Amino acid sequence: MRSLAGRRTSNPSILGVDNTWYSHLASVVSLGAQHKGVNSLAELHEARAEHLSQFFTPADVVAFHLADRLAAMDAAIRDSRGFPVAILDNSMGSGRMFQFADRRNTKLAGFDIHAESVDAVTAATKAAGFRTDFIVGDAGG
Ligand SMILES: C[S@@+](CC[C@H](N)C(=O)[O-])C[C@H]1O[C@@H](n2cnc3c(N)ncnc32)[C@H](O)[C@@H]1O
């Protein structure tokens, strides 16, 4: 297993992770980005109900946050004695937070109220050989 610890970058390519498995999901457009938009604060509540506040995190922002946590993740993987370390996103959308995960030592877990997104992430991660635990669920209910 090649350690990613110590790398400090916001550039996904420099993270050194092969995430080509994610290329199809990367092109999924969020419900929010497809929405016609609002003209007033009054319309905002209705719009959020329609698009579920679904906006996906840009890859460089994911990489920026991940770079800050690589040392802790590597330590958890070292301490796990071969068991996969879970990465959980409780509003996973199109799985942006999973795109740099290493299938050899991590398990991806999460849920989202938007079934279409969960189905797409489930199919792509299974095809890529990840261990997964995804469900369609409502964090508020
Ligand atoms: C801002 S997006 C974030 C998606 C992803 N974590 C990312 O970083 O790209 C929020 C996600 O929460 C989901 N969501 C909205 N309401 C929810 C609820 N009540 N329970 C679970 N998921 C919900 C949306 O479908 C959307 O995918």
Ligand 1 center from residue 41 Cα (angstroms) = 21
Per-residue pLDDT band at 18 (split at 50, 70, 90): confident
pLDDT given for residue 17 in this prediction: 76
Residue-wise pLDDT for 92-111, tens only, equals 999 999 999 989 999 999 99
pLDDT given for residue 137 in this prediction: 95
CA distance 69 to 52: 28
What would the CATH number be for the domain defined by 13-136? 3.40.50
Domain boundaries, the chain: 13-136
What's the mean pLDDT when you consider all of the chain?
Answer: 89
Ligand 1 center from residue 113 Cα (angstroms) = 7
